[in-house]
Amino acid sequence: MSTGYSLHIGVNQYDPAHYNKEGKLKACEADARSMERIAADQGFNTTLLLTTDARREAVLNHINNATKELTAGDMYFITYAGHGGRVPDTSGEERDGKDETWCLYDGQLLDDEITVAFAGFREGVRVLLISDSCHSGTIVRSAGNDLDALLKESPDGVGFRTEHPRASKSTYARNREFYDSIISNLPRKLPEPRAAVKSICACHDDQLAADGKVNGFFTTHLLEAWDDGHFSGSYKSLYGKVKRSMWWKTLWNGKNQVPVYLARGPKDNSFERAFQL
């Protein structure tokens, strides 16, 4: 029987000593709990990291420990809900010159760090990542001169899950030595995963991901599509159902948020049915 480990991260605010503000959100911890319930119901061994416990070392340790424990046929499931940020890109893979990040409580976790950590999984392991956060690398292009007003409040009275570009620059500037050290230790050419990796994310790099009063906008539609486990189908069909539901809602309330599905690494025909070990 396959083994499944899962990690669910929800950050409703972060450490002002690092970010110079708390960045308060409403629904990220609830999102993490909701995703943990899905994982537990499917037989995963779950770990929940909320706000002050959602630290860089804890997240990376969980991933690295899983790379040592899991073997072919096993599965790793990781979810994140919180702010998205950015730091300068050194791998040359980002068109806007910025790496997207997860704003964990004590510091940002770079997408390149996640890629390197995932490269540690053995061939035959299945990895699923779900992120309800804003990738803010190209927000300025999409939001234009109305960015300040847009970030202040979303149409349904809740905020967006992104650092303002000025705040993101400030976070990097005040912790430059810390981030430059991380960046300098990353490989110039990122490794390709040996495991099959699927990801479903809340929005494109040039869009904003809305928070919520109960769950985030994306997570709300994902939970509706999952329907307490009554959904049956592939990850791609689950993504399609979420995308269609979000599209109809955006027509009604003016949000511009389209989720993204990506598959990387070797093809694995056993890695199709949603959340199945």
pLDDT of residue 89: 61
Q: How confident is the model at residue 251 (pLDDT cuts 50, 70, 90)?
A: low
Residue 40 identity (one-letter amino acid):
A
Distances (CA, A) of 209 to 6, 43, 153, 156, 240: 23, 29, 12, 13, 18
pLDDT at 109: 95
Looking at CATH, the fold of the domain delimited by 4-264 is given as Rossmann fold (3.40.50)
* Cβ partners under 8 Å of residue 36, min gap 6: 6, 8, 46, 48
The region, left, alpha or beta by phi > 0 then psi within -120 to 50, assigned to residue 116 is: alpha
For residue 63, the model assigns a pLDDT of 98
Tell me if 129 sits within 8 A of 79, measured CB to CB.
yes
Q: Which of 87, 100, 84, 118 is nearest to 11 (CA)?
A: 84
Q: Specify the range with the lowest mean pLDDT, choosing from 14-23, 87-96, 112-121, 165-174.
A: 87-96
pLDDT tens-digit map of 181-220: 999 999 988 899 999 999 999 988 777 888 999 999 999 9
- pLDDT at residue 164 above 60? yes
pLDDT above 70 (res 69): yes
pLDDT digits (tens, 9 = 90+) for 230-243: 999 999 999 999 99
Indicate the pLDDT class of residue 253, thresholds 50, 70 and 90.
Answer: low
Give the per-residue pLDDT at 249.
74
Tell me: pLDDT of 96 over 60. no
| pTM, full prediction | 0.89
